[in-house]
Amino acid sequence: MKLGMINSAWEQHGVGLVDGLKKTKELGFDCVDIF
């Protein structure tokens, strides 16, 4: 099983796509759903 996150979670808080992807990796998520 992998832990995933949707990128709009960052977008709602004013964090850009690239920065959000970096932060998602730092937090230990395995994958991202990009919408």
What are the residue boundaries of the structural domains of the chain, listed by start? 4-33
What's the pLDDT score for residue 34?
83
Residue given tokens 């920065």 in the structure block: 19
Residue given tokens 């960052």 in the structure block: 10
> Which three-class secondary structure state does DSSP give residue 31?
strand
What's the pLDDT score for residue 2?
92
The answer to whether 31 and 1 have CB atoms below 8 angstroms apart is no
Per the confidence metrics, is the pTM higher than 0.75?
Answer: no
Which two tokens mark 3? 């832990």
Measure Cα distances from 1 to 12, 18, 30, 32 in Å: 26, 25, 9, 14
Could you report the per-residue pLDDT of 1-35, keeping only the tens digit for each? 999 999 899 989 999 999 999 999 999 999 999 87
